[in-house]
Amino acid sequence: MDIHTLTLAEAGKQLKQKKITSRQLTQAVLQRLKSVEPQIQAFLSIAEKTAFTQADEADRRIAEGGDISPLTGIPIAIKDNICTADAATTCASRILENFHPPYDATVIAKLRRAGVVFIGKTNMDEFAMGSSTENSGYKITRNPWDRERIPGGSSGGSAAAVAADAAIAALGSDTGGSVRAPASYCGVVGLKPTYGRVSRYGLVAYGSSLDQIGPLTKDVKDSAIMLNALAGHDPQDSTSANVPVPDYTSACGKDIKGLRIGIPKEYFAEGIDPEVEQLVKNAIRQMESLGALPIEISLPHTEYAIPCYYICAMAEASSNLARYGGAHYGYRAKNAGNILEMYSKTRAEGFGTEVKRRIMLGTYVLSAGYYDAWYLKAIKARTLIKRDFELAWEKTDIIAAPVVPAPAFKIGEKSADPLTMYLSDIYTISLNLAGMCGISIPCGFSKKGLPVGLQLIANIFKEETLFTAAYAYEQSAGFFNRKPPL
Amino acid sequence: MEFEPVIGMEAHAELATKTKVFCGCSTAFGAAPNTQVCPVCLGLPGALPVLNKTAFEYVIRTAIALNCTITEKTVFDRKNYYYPDLPKNYQISQNYACIGYNGWIEINVNGEKKQVGMDNVHLEEDAGKNLHPETGGAESLVDLNRAGIALMEIVSRPDMHSADDALAYMETLKNLLQYLEVSDCKMQEGRLRFEVNISMRRKGEQKLGARAEIKNLNSMRTALKCIEYEIKRQTDILSNGGKLNQETRLWDEASSCTRAMRSKEQAQDYRYFPDPDLVEVHIMPEWQEKIRRQIPELKDAKLARFIAEYGLPEYDADILTSSKPLATYFEQCQKFHNNPKSISNWIMTELLRELKSREMESDDCPVTPRHLACMIKMIDEKTISGKIGKQVFSEMLSTGKMPDVIVTESGMSQILDEKEISAIVEKIISENQDTVESIRAGRDKAMAFLVGQIMRATRGKANPQLVNQILKDKISIK
């Protein structure tokens, strides 16, 4: 039996019923990982030894029958920008090569307590800056559906690993679409929770006001199980919200009769691939057939989302990444004659091109004389974008949209033109700016056999609505049963 | 042409909170390097700050006491610059919405009352310390124990015009902060630091000249020397037709002068922007009111109470309340032994003289309130004389021993035994018959000579009242 193909819910059930052990499951997943890894290159480090220790510990817990969570004994992959006390955390950057954090991120501590088996750290765009995972300082991850193509980014390693059954589920982080976009490109489910729903403590910051950790899973129910474990207030994160955490799995299975689905006209304007447009519209029609009520809405400030996002994110990044200067940890350039040279050489040698580009742009928009013209304007635009959503919620319960304008592009295709690459974030970044939650679920395949995702967006702390709608659609559409040709 | 100096000051006070401003690490002074640190104050990837509420309230308390307008919605901003003692290479500070604005403080300059305006009061984190080994070598070391300690910055308006103004301002501010119990203000431990902004202008003009900002002043005395130096330096340049540029200068203690550090053109652009890791803090009127009620007794109230409660003369009460630690010292003594006037006398003479010569704060003095009170009690109970008390005091100062221990060890107890004193008196009378005769003949002043002889014979331990009484009886006068 290919137990590595199990969903989290199924695997958890079989573990609980003692049909399988966590050691068996971990073995199967690691075996699969090793067999597909040469083709997809999803991992930066594999924690085989500690994984089996954790698996045995989980088996002991299950045997004792006491404190079992739905995640006990489940092999999970972690994006390499989430701090783990027992494994290097590099953010796919040379500047943090061999950096071992002395502490666990809050989400890692939560998963550890739940009895999760950590199988490895996944590849990503360096410091989560990118939409294709081509900006990794170490390797290029390939799309399991077509290895000539990108898996999306920046959580490309996590999405590819889940799609390839090389992990039962994975954690990613989403600053402008970095969970949802790779989920769409790789045909898995990716959730961007409400800002403040999941603690950021231990997530290496890119754009602090936008970053949010989210799960990548094989189906919607798994996503709900993961969010149950991740969500909640953290006194170590001032921006985490003290809002009660419901049981998200119970939202899966409710019907969607009368659910209002807003279709933002700005998201179906020029620039969208006709195949993607068709598949997303089909999905909306399918939901309508389940009793949902589609209505056209407008998010009029959408056109400002990309410039607004890149100014906010880069400004924050320029400051967040200032700490990598070689003084205290991480890479330090050799042969620096003085302190200034140490900083500039370390950063010149340690950071990749895209990271440097964003640091420079971010530094520029915060500089004296430009702050008002760029940063403050972006902050104002951000308020307007948020207002668009708030007005929309008066008319609709949920918003349906594409995730990305087109299916996965070829490796190297957009590398020479960062602006084109930035434009691929058009449908995902608005809700990071507004703090809303969103989910990407498979809604079909292009003629070339590449997965396409449907994005559902809900108001802050309305993840239950997302899960209800996503689950209803997923169960009736059934795309989750298709596996990539590996 | 006559010039007048225009002086403004920036004060940095480390707040007296047990833990740092954005994490739970200890703020205790003097620990081994890098032992009071955690992922947050080390600036490790992924770590996040959480505001220390007490530190924030201390700044509100200070802002209220400095008559500031309290900002309703405050935010923290990042001040971006690179330096190894700043682990994140940005400092969490306040720039766009400080806690307090537009206040004032009254200072007393040689009897004349003046007001100094306050531009703002805000909260930030302290940096660590770079250590450059004296043995030389290319490597410097960094101690991050201090990194993240709550630091309050108080920025004055350029309302001071002499070194005396500046001294009165520094002393008044230090005093107030100690009274507010927000900082112990120990300058020798760097817990209170001043920076001076100084420029010169023609007397009568309103326009400000190009200012020099001077850093690295680690005591009030240094600040004064620096101001005097700068007044002279700038006046000389202007008088000779020279031009001054806005610049940052560094005080060089070894050669007692300031040196140019960087010009306005080289000034850093700190690229302040709101810290997305921290949330807005709204200071509601009820919270302000609660903090206002928590303000401890300040100097004027304490002075009035010392007069009323302890029956002290105003002169004494004024000196005892001149600093919060001294007032506390007095009241602690009073708790051990109830004799306010005597305690006050000892503090105003012996204690203050020693503290001044040792440049020490009363709370660092080896003679604790318990020591002093216990000694005064021994005087009041006639175990020792006041004169012996002075010897005991200096012994306590050098050894830290309790007075009863010192008295026992060195046999300083007073002789109260009348028989013992009588024997000595008789001996002195027999040795000084001429003097006795002259006293009997009416030369009262010669009595003092005999008393002196008796005290010398007992090494000052005989009770003076008894000596006088017995001597008078023996030579049968009156």
CATH of domain B418-474: 1.10.10.410
Identify which of B66, B43, B60 has the alpha carbon closest to the alpha carbon of residue B98. B60
Furthest CA-CA distance within chain B: 96
Is residue B157 within 8 A of residue B188, CB to CB? The reply is no
**Which amino acid is it at A187?**
G
CA distances from B265 to A343, A389, A391, B122, B211 (A): 22, 45, 48, 26, 14
A290 is written with which tokens? 């389940």
DSSP B367: S
> Quick one: pLDDT at residue B253?
87
Is residue A43 within 8 A of residue A34, CB to CB? The reply is no
CB count in 10 Å sphere of residue B201: 16
CA distance B61 to B48: 26
The active-site residue out of A154, A158, A223, A318 is: A154
Is residue B49 within 8 A of residue B278, CB to CB? The reply is yes
Q: Hey, CA dihedral for A214, A219, A223, A226, is it positive or negative?
A: negative
Surface of B (49-78) touching A: CB under 8 A: 49-51, 78
CA distance A278 to A454: 11
- What confidence tens digit (pLDDT) does each residue in B241-296 have? 999 989 999 999 889 999 998 887 777 899 999 999 999 999 999 999 999 999 99
* B272: chain A residues, CB-CB within 8 Å: 366
Furthest CA-CA distance within chain A: 70
Interface test with A, best of B273, B275, B279, B280 (most A CBs within 10 A): B273
* A340: chain B residues, CB-CB within 8 Å: 82
CA distance B245 to A257: 74
A403 is written with which tokens? 């995730």
> Quick one: pLDDT at residue B364?
87
Indicate the Cα dihedral angle B41, B43, B44, B49, nearest 10°: 70
User: CA neighbours within 13 Å on the CB side: how many for B328?
Assistant: 17
Question: For residue B56, what is the enclosing H or E element?
Answer: helix B53-65
Domains of chain A: 3-260+400-481 (3.90.1300.10), 304-381 (no CATH)
Give the one of B47, B80, B84 whose C-beta lies nearest to A327's C-beta. Answer: B84
Is residue A118 within 8 A of residue A379, CB to CB? The reply is no
> Could you tell me the pLDDT band of residue B478, with boundaries at 50, 70 and 90?
very low
CA distances from B456 to B386, B388, B449, B472 (A): 15, 13, 11, 18
Q: Does B46 touch chain A (CB under 8 A)?
A: yes
CA distance B233 to B254: 17
CA distance B46 to B40: 9
> Could you tell me the pLDDT band of residue B195, with boundaries at 50, 70 and 90?
very high
* Mean predicted lDDT score pLDDT of chain A: 96
DSSP B313: -
CB contact under 8 Å between B39 and A343, yes or no, is no
Tokens 């690229």 belong to residue: B271
Question: For residue B175, what is the enclosing H or E element?
Answer: helix B163-179
A416 is written with which tokens? 């020479």
CA distances from A276 to A268, B59, B427 (A): 10, 56, 123
CB contact under 8 Å between A319 and B48, yes or no, is no
User: CA neighbours within 13 Å on the CB side: how many for B93?
Assistant: 23
CB contact under 8 Å between A323 and B88, yes or no, is yes
A25 is written with which tokens? 């499951």
Enumerate the β-bridge partners of residue A78: A121, A171
CA distance B123 to A248: 41
Is residue A115 within 8 A of residue A66, CB to CB? The reply is no
Is residue A218 within 8 A of residue A122, CB to CB? The reply is no
Q: Where are the domains of chain B?
A: 9-202+264-287, 297-409, 418-474
CA distance B325 to A98: 51
Closest chain B C-alpha to A290 CA, distance in angstroms: 41
CA distance B171 to B183: 14
Identify which of A424, A481, A405, A448 has the alpha carbon closest to the alpha carbon of residue A188. A481
> Quick one: pLDDT at residue B1?
67
- What confidence tens digit (pLDDT) does each residue in A374-416 have? 999 999 999 999 999 999 999 999 999 999 999 999 999 998 8
A409 is written with which tokens? 């592009």
A176 is written with which tokens? 């402008």
CB contact under 8 Å between A322 and B51, yes or no, is no
Residue B301, pLDDT > 60, answer yes
CB contact under 8 Å between B80 and A366, yes or no, is yes
SS3 letters across chain A = CCHHHCCHHHHHHHHHCCCCCHHHHHHHHHHHHHHHHHHHCCEEEECHHHHHHHHHHHHHHHHHCCCCCCCCCCEEEEECCECECCECCCCCCHHHCCCCCCCCCHHHHHHHHHCCEEEEEECCCHHHCCCCCCCCCCCCCCECCECCECCCCCCHHHHHHHHCCCCCEEEEECCCCCCHHHHHHHCCEEEECCCCCECCCCECCCCCCCCCEEEEECCHHHHHHHHHHHECCCCCCCCCCCCCCCCHHHHCCCCCCCCEEEEEHHHHCCCCCHHHHHHHHHHHHHHHHCCCEEEEECCHHHHHHHHHHHHHHHHHHHHHHHHCCCCCCCCCCCCCCCHHHHHHHHHHHHCCHHHHHHHHHHHHHHCCCCHHHHHHHHHHHHHHHHHHHHHHCCCCCEEEEECCCCCCCECCCCCCCHHHHHHCCCCCHHHHHHCCEEEEEEEEECCCCCEEEEEEEECCCCHHHHHHHHHHHHHHHCHHHCCCCC
> Could you tell me the pLDDT band of residue B458, with boundaries at 50, 70 and 90?
confident
Give the one of B43, B46, B142 whose C-beta lies nearest to A202's C-beta. Answer: B46
* B278: chain A residues, CB-CB within 8 Å: 238
DSSP B349: I
Residue B137, pLDDT > 80, answer no
Q: Number of CB pairs < 8 Å for A and B?
A: 99
- What confidence tens digit (pLDDT) does each residue in B358-416 have? 888 888 899 999 999 999 999 998 888 888 899 899 899 989 999 988 888 877 777 77
Over its C-alpha atoms, chain A yields an Rg (Å, rounded) of: 21
Give, for all 486 residues of chain A, the pLDDT tens digit: 599 999 999 999 999 999 999 999 999 999 999 999 999 999 999 999 999 999 999 999 999 987 799 999 999 999 999 999 999 999 999 999 999 999 999 999 999 999 999 999 999 999 999 999 999 999 999 999 999 999 999 999 999 999 999 999 999 999 999 999 999 999 999 999 999 999 999 999 999 999 999 999 999 999 999 999 999 999 999 999 999 999 999 999 999 999 999 999 999 988 899 999 999 999 999 999 999 999 999 999 999 999 999 999 999 999 999 999 999 999 999 989 899 999 999 999 999 999 999 999 999 999 999 999 999 999 999 999 999 999 999 999 999 999 999 999 999 999 888 888 888 899 999 999 999 999 999 999 999 999 999 999 999 999 999 999 999 999 999 876 789 998
3-state secondary structure of B121: strand
* Mean predicted lDDT score pLDDT of chain B: 92
A172's CB contacts (< 8 A; 6+ apart) are A79, A122, A154, A155, A158, A159, A178, A179, A182, A190, A213, A214, A215, A216
Pairing of strands B247-252, B212-217: parallel
3-state secondary structure of B69: strand
Surface of A (239-298) touching B: CB under 8 A: 239
> Could you tell me the pLDDT band of residue B64, with boundaries at 50, 70 and 90?
very high
Identify which of A106, A100, A88 has the alpha carbon closest to the alpha carbon of residue A203. A106
The active-site residue out of A45, A69, A79, A184 is: A79
Indicate the Cα dihedral angle B17, A104, A176, A388, nearest 10°: -50
Can A132 be counted among the known catalytic residues?
Answer: no
Question: The whole model's pTM is what?
Answer: 0.91
Is residue B405 within 8 A of residue B434, CB to CB? The reply is no
Give the one of B44, B82, B276 whose C-beta lies nearest to A325's C-beta. Answer: B82
ipTM confidence: 0.96
